[in-house]
């Protein structure tokens, strides 16, 4: 009977050793899988950081280019605005001169009418044209 118990204990020890070996192998595989997962996650994170850096660099470059373009367009608009303003000032000066000239022409026409060089009808036609411009 004692022999039988010893064999039984040996079988139990072997089964325990087999279970222990299986668990150890399982744990080793699990550790490897975890390590592989961590390595893959680290690689993905590194790629994401690189991509973020590239995106930030591209955004900075684009921002710089857009700022330069906006500054150039702003300068161009300023120049165009000044040119239009100068045109307006010149036109206003010309209108004043034109009005003065037209009034002088009307005076001359009046004198020509008084002296009989032009008729009342001719005077009225010229007067309408001149007043239409003013």
Length of the chain: 134
Pairwise CA distance, residues 102 & 75, whole Å = 40
Dihedral sign from CA coordinates of 92, 94, 95, 101: positive
Question: What pLDDT shows up at residue 89?
Answer: 81
Burial class (CB in 10 A: 0-12, 13-18, 19+), 41: exposed
Pairwise CA distance, residues 112 & 107, whole Å = 9
Question: What pLDDT shows up at residue 17?
Answer: 55
Digits of tens for pLDDT over the chain (134 positions)?
A: 455 455 455 545 555 555 557 788 888 888 898 888 888 888 888 888 888 888 888 988 888 999 999 999 999 998 998 988 888 888 777 666 678 888 899 999 999 999 999 999 999 999 998 888 76
């Amino acid at each position: 009977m004692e022999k039988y118990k010893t064999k039984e204990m040996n079988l139990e020890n072997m089964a325990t050793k087999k279970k222990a070996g299986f668990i150890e192998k399982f744990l080793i595989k699990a550790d490897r899988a975890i390590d592989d997962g961590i390595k893959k996650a680290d690689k993905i994170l590194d790629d994401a950081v690189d991509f973020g850096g590239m995106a930030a660099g591209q955004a900075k470059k684009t921002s710089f280019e857009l700022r330069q373009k906006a500054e150039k367009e702003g300068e161009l608009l300023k120049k165009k605005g000044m040119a239009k303003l100068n045109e307006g000032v010149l036109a206003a000066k010309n209108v004043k001169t034109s009005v003065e000239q037209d009034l002088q022409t009307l005076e001359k026409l009046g004198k020509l009418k008084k002296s009989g060089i032009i008729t009342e009808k001719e005077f009225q036609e010229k007067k309408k044209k001149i007043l239409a411009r003013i």
